[in-house]
Amino acid sequence: MKVSVLGCGRWGSCIAWYLDKTGHEVLSCGLADAPEFLTLKETRKNDYLEYPESIEISSDLEYAVKRAEVIVISISAQHLREYMEDISKSNLDGKIIVLCMKGVEEKTGCRLSEVVGAFVDEEKTPIAVWVGPGHPQDFTKGIPNCMVIDSKNEDVKKKLCNEFSSPLIRMYIGDDFLGSEIGAAAKNVVGIVAGMLDGMNYQSLKGALMARGTREIARLIEAMGGNPLSAYGLCHLGDYEATLFSKWSQNRMYGESFVKGQKYGKLAEGVMTTKALKKLADKHNVEMPIVSVLYDILFAEKPFEKAMEELFGRSVKTEFH
């Protein structure tokens, strides 16, 4: 398949590298003046991997879209809408858009597929999401993992799973499009809290965080019309090891750096996703203590020690209520 991967940061470059390895004709597209694109263009490598000669590199977005059967987008979630304004200038009929990015639009509370859906006819341009655990640092060493592809279009998600699956990444077919998106976005929020616990040397509380976090997200997914069991799959709970424990997790590292008073210069999608989930919780009248506490820490200047004490010292309740 002719695949154009839009975005050449950590994940975008890894996806391009991976899809080339699985036999597809891959173009890696980035912004002409972006440091990560310039590095790849000049050296064909970055901090995580090296591109083989078979991967085409270009900053011509119009060309990248035109040539592709499948367009994989891997950029910052909060910039997706303005990015789609450029992409949608081209004819997208007959192409598949795959979102390999995790988040919820902060300004609107829209899922990322809803953002894309505002620009395309989904009957002509199906939308899929690619979610689940893993880090480029592991994949490039040959360490395998399992991931999920989900879509409203049954044929599309089956086709993508068959085309993109390999011994390195075992693909599963998702069966809850909404739950897959919300679960994947929300794990980054829980990851930030996990990092804060690490920074406070309260790692023992991660067990409670995992149990309560999954239940909390399950309630939101159900209130939004999805399957609450999705929160216990690869999109959320199955991604906890990579997000709440791994040294490669940018959201966990952000949380740890925050409580230590250190600046963390890399993208942590969970920060703005926290704002978006707070809006969704209020809209759907869902109690989300973990989201609310993190929101207060990040955006209401509440001392994290006091916030964490309140979170884990709440009134006695039955375990999963």
pLDDT at 315: 57
Residue-number span of the structural domain to which 146 is assigned: 2-173
Partner residues linked to 151 by β-bridges:
128
Q: How far apart are the first and last CA of the chain?
A: 47
Check whether residue 193 and residue 167 sit in a common domain: no
Decide if pLDDT at 255 tops 90.
yes
Contacts of 257-266 with CB under 8 Å at 24 or more apart are 257/195, 257/199, 258/192, 258/195, 258/196, 258/199, 258/297, 258/298, 258/304, 259/195, 259/196, 259/199, 259/200, 259/304, 260/199
The torsion of the CA quartet 157, 159, 163, 164, rounded to 10 degrees, works out to 0
In a domain, 31, yes or no: yes
Measured in residues, the chain has a length of 321
Which amino acid, 103? Answer: G
Clarify whether 302 is annotated catalytic. no
pLDDT in tens, 201-245: 999 999 999 999 999 999 999 999 999 999 999 999 999 999 999
pLDDT at 130: 98
Check whether residue 112 and residue 211 sit in a common domain: no
- Average pLDDT of the segment spanning 286-292: 96
The number of distinct structural domains making up the chain is 2
Where a domain ends, among 117, 140, 173? Answer: 173
- Average pLDDT of the segment spanning 160-179: 98
- Average pLDDT value for the chain: 95
Check whether residue 244 and residue 118 sit in a common domain: no
Check whether residue 130 and residue 198 sit in a common domain: no
Check whether residue 16 and residue 160 sit in a common domain: yes
Check whether residue 122 and residue 161 sit in a common domain: yes
Q: Which of 257, 281, 284, 253 is nearest to 269 (CA)?
A: 253
Where a domain ends, among 146, 173, 200? Answer: 173
Check whether residue 130 and residue 246 sit in a common domain: no
Q: Which of 95, 187, 206, 278 is catalytic?
A: 187
pLDDT in tens, 5-58: 999 999 999 999 999 999 999 999 999 999 999 999 999 999 999 999 999 999
pLDDT at 265: 86
Check whether residue 140 and residue 169 sit in a common domain: yes
